[in-house]
Structure 1
């Protein structure tokens, strides 16, 4: 049964009463040692564990065990910087293992950099990832014949009434299946922990880690990207007196997240996607056939778009003729959406993946399964996360949905009608993407025992830095502007004149320098400072960011 909770309102400080200033907890010391080589291969990094309460208001419930990883400062140590790589579901252990040098640069080399797998994440922290099926075959058997597996088939922004009806006809069965998934998750080994997952608990865990590392009441330094910014915006308002140097990059609007069911407002995240798609096809056209396989001599962006539309139409027609078609237009859209996150991958996508998609739809290639799996293998920085050839992870859903507004009687018909409206009114190219964990939140059976719901305008002990790209496919600049506006003089907003998910998506010495200067000595630039992408970074061969942006209509940027 769903735990009975007080209805969420923006005026409420917490769903459950808390003491804002402290975790009120004696933490154990962390014993550092060598990392498990099956998880971390950089031997310069140290690993350890910290036990924390599952429920900070009821220690009798038991404890969680957080897996930690640390890179030592390269200069004179000033303290510790904690970071979260997003998701939710991104592994701090894996991210620091892969990006140690970047984070030491960003923090000026004067801090130990501390990553951790938050509760509900990974296979080392306890509780870890949520699995609701014994294997992938069991999952596919439940969702066989639904858009959960095939993606949404539509053409022309749902111009065909038959596409609308075909989608809505699945609503009742999908809702039953999502409700069944929720019950499977409750009955899984992690089920007993689901109500103790969520962002508020992660914030309190972060404070516990900082207390153990540097002592209670010391300023807490933090760098969060993507979902990590929700952790950050909750942290600076739950513990404003503990705010040290904090960088939030790729902002989830915390006010919107608190007030709306994300399952029926997913289009809110997609406001920049069509423009970034224009950026992609413009870059391809500028590169020409020598740099982009989709381009022919003399092609402009509209010509590249016509080829994409033809690919989608061919996949759509194939699926209509044969429901067992191995590659659908919905799967192509889903993969394309996630490509927008990483401009550093665009040349590979357009020169290798796109031709393979065309060949597959034409029946000239047999490795369709691998193409489908590519659309489901997503990095920890991204909103959605799945595993390949194993039972799907429900890690993202278990955290996002635990934080979501209480169940409001929303139906799957409501969700799918919102998808249709979002495709028609917000993102014509990529509004109809599914599956996505966020669509399950209206049917998720539990909510976290603690959820912070504002206010988000507390007076902070120190000013923080908020960063964004001009165009981000999931955390728009508008969200950064909302948070910066709420915090007023306690926040400085900077952005890169670029596209991709978070400012880390593209190289910018300007942005790196701003973050490093702030972390090392507290120096902040003027509010509204705009950085450029490094001129030597080419999106396609011979094509840089500035060249692409110069070709876009003024209203698009």
Structure 2
């Protein structure tokens, strides 16, 4: 695949960007189907589809703006990650949080990058016309049921069952790629990716603040990869930049994604232990999975028994409505947001127990019984929750369209290779979640196209201003060591602040300490000392009567 090196094209790009960018964006009311906060304004900006080939045509970016609440000092651009997160939807949802983090002295501007939503063009990537078509395509595969295993792949029959799916899943993913190329937005796949998003952000900045002006940016999760490419391709344009929940761009550019998912999961089992510890500390009054006198190990035993009962039920009847693989994926998703843990353990978990009890071929272990279980009217769909879009509830494939199109293009990887990595990751990295499937990251080895422009480094350029990096000590998908690697690479040009918390990015738990640090940096350029550690707010309760510091203290004492 053709790969332009951005670092050799900065001057040409800056000249072209100034010629192509309009001087004004017309702000007006937002589409109410996406944005319901009437204080926000929206607009559009046309940009080159290919910044190095004008004959490719133009893209149109949907923009959103929250006005500064104080004396305006400029603009901060925000990307919510994903990739595929809607800048419009996120700003609509967390406007006040972002204004607080930036001191209220900047307009906050977000946008739906290429491949996101139905207002930006090219928009969301759909490879199936309907949900039913998607389910029929993957019927009888782990894409719908998840991977069935009892932990660590200790059972040889589980290993063999997975390998038996390798040729089937490889053929499916290869056909999926062809479907995506033939989809309505398939011809745009080569123009979707991080390089284009970085250049688009510079175009927006040129239009709003003027060519050559400093660019302020706050990126979370995948948004930190955008940020890393930005500060290294356009170091002279760096204003005040914050990364939170960090992807290491060097690792990303040199390692095949599909074979290295486990390296992202190094904290997941610890975060799971934090969840069951918090449940046990809260007791039966605050957590339905806990009985009087239960410790973390007791709560964990109930969860493990639930997974085993669902596993046994699926082995007896492959048509059961809920599998252990699906439960594992759902539980993995809960690790991202501790504010949801109480809801999951008090409402979702009892419902899962009821469903597994109904499908179990034999009486369920007493470990599943709890006097606090409340029947629910909601049900868990057999299909593993994936990426539901807006076209007939069909799954969106925007995440691989961006992430895989930027990743290394290694030929010859087979699904057997991927499954071997899954097994090794389950045995050696995350016993609980190494086998969680599906994930869009596993599609990258079979994705049919790479972006016309990608950046492979260097990633140690000297930015015009120092940047702030933030990370939880326990993040389920962007672990702390990745943030440390990025900070070390930038040396004195970056400061890393850690938060003693759980979840994906420091926004997962409220922290006045972290908020004050970010606001001071954005407003005054003040950076904290290296080694600064923040705590989650003491009045934030993960479960009734249980805050983050209590969970951490009990983890250190042994936890689960």
TM-score (norm 2): 0.94
Query: Cα distance, 1:13 vs. partner?
Result: 4.7
Matched, 1:161 2:153: no
Residue aligned with 2:218, SS? strand
The answer to whether the aligner puts 1:429 opposite 2:449 as a matched pair is no
In 2, the alpha carbon distance for the partners of 1:23 and 1:355 equals 60
Provide Cα deviations, 1:227-279, integer angstroms capped at 9, x if missing partner: 10000111000100000000000001111111111101100110000000010
Deviation at 1:15, TM superposition (A): 9.5
Give the C-alpha shift of residue 391 in structure 1.
Answer: 1.1
Other structure's SS at 1:417 match: helix
Residue 407 (structure 1) shift: 3.0
Say which of 356, 363, 366 aligns to 1:361: 356
SS of 1:81's equivalent in the other structure is strand
Name the CA distance, whole Å, in 1 between partners of 2:8 and 2:526.
Answer: 37
Cα deviation, residue 24, structure 1: 2.2
Shift, 1:370, TM fit: 3.4
Q: What CA distance in whole angstroms lies between the structure 1 residues aligned with 2:382 and 2:539?
A: 33
Q: Return the alpha-carbon distance in structure 2 between the equivalents of residues 463 and 554 of structure 1.
A: 38
Checking the alignment, whether the CA contact within 8 Å between 1:134 and 1:391 is kept in structure 2 is: yes
The answer (yes or no) to whether the contact 2:514–2:534 under 8 Å persists in 1 is yes
Distance 1:367 1:192, change over 3 A: farther
What is residue 105 of structure 1 aligned with on the other side? 100
Residue 175 (structure 1) aligned to one of 152, 170, 174: 170
Among 375, 389, 393, which residue is 1:390 paired with?
A: 393
Q: Cα gap change, 1:366/1:302 in structure 2, threshold over 3 Å: closer, same or farther?
A: closer
Q: Are 2:351 and 2:379, in contact at CA under 8 Å, matched by a contact in 1?
A: no
> Are residue 267 (structure 1) and residue 276 (structure 2) matched?
no
Contact 1:327–1:368 under 8 Å retained in 2 = no
1:465-480 equivalence runs, <5 A = 465-480=468-483
Structure 1: 5+ residue runs without aligned partners? Answer: 7-11, 378-384
1:440 lines up with 2:443 in the alignment: yes
| Contact 1:20/1:238, CA 8 A, preserved across alignment | no
Q: Provide the C-alpha distance between the structure 1 equivalents of 2:8 and 2:213, rounded to a whole number of angstroms.
A: 25
- The C-alpha deviation readout for 1:414-441, integer Å capped at 9, x for no partner, is 0011000000000001110111111011
CA deviation string 1:58-97 (max 9, x = no partner): 1110000000000111111100000000100100000111
Verify the 8 A CA contact 1:226 1:249 in the aligned structure 2: yes
Distance between the aligned counterparts of 1:420 and 1:283, measured in 2? 29
Q: Alpha-carbon deviation of 1:369?
A: 5.0
1:67 is paired with a residue of what secondary structure? strand
Segment drifting more, 126-135 vs 547-556: 547-556
Stretches of structure 2 that go unaligned for 5 or more consecutive residues are 360-374
Which residue of structure 2 lines up, in the alignment, with residue 123 of structure 1?
Answer: 118
Separation of aligned partners in 2, 1:178 and 1:346: 33
Task: Compute the displacement of 1:367 (Å).
Answer: 6.5
Deviations 1:293-316 (A, max 9, x none): 000111111111110110000000
Q: How does 1:264-413 map to 2 (within 5 A)?
A: 264-363=259-358, 370-372=380-382, 376=385, 385-387=387-389, 390-413=393-416
Q: Is the 8 A contact 1:237 1:454 kept in 2?
A: yes
State yes or no: 1:5 paired with 2:7. Answer: no
Query: What SS is found at the alignment partner of 2:396?
Result: coil
How far the C-alpha of 1:387 sits from its partner, in A, is 3.9
1:177-197 Cα deviation digits (max 9, x unpaired):
101010000001101100000
- In structure 2, what is the equivalent of residue 450 of structure 1? 453
Over 3 Å counting, the alpha-carbon distance change for 1:437 and 1:208 in structure 2 is: same
Q: Deviations over 1:324-370 (max 9, x none)?
A: 11100000000000100000010000000000000011118796853
Alignment partners' CA distance in 2, 1:200 and 1:179 = 25
Question: Once the 2 structures are TM-superposed, how far is the Cα of residue 16 of structure 1 from its aligned partner?
Answer: 8.3
Q: 1:471 to 1:556 in 2, by over 3 A?
A: farther
* Contact kept in structure 2, 1:23 and 1:207, CA below 8 Å: no
CA contact 1:16–1:449 (8 Å) conserved in 2? no
Partner of 1:217: 212
Specify the alignment match of 1:27 in structure 2. 21
Change (3 A) 1:485 1:318: same
Work out whether residues 296 and 559 of structure 2, in 8 Å CA contact, stay in contact via their aligned partners in 1.
no
Q: Aligned partners of 2:533, 2:351: CA distance in 1, in Å?
A: 38
- Residue 123 of structure 1, CA deviation: 0.7
Tell me, in whole angstroms, the C-alpha distance in 2 between the residues paired with 1:20 and 1:507.
43
Does the 8 Å CA contact 2:246/2:479 hold for their aligned counterparts?
yes
**Aligned with 2:477: secondary structure?**
coil
Question: Would the aligned equivalents of 2:274 and 2:559 in 1 still touch at CA under 8 Å?
Answer: no
Question: Does 2:33 correspond to 1:38?
Answer: yes
Structure 1 residues 185 and 18: CA distance shift in structure 2, 3 A: farther
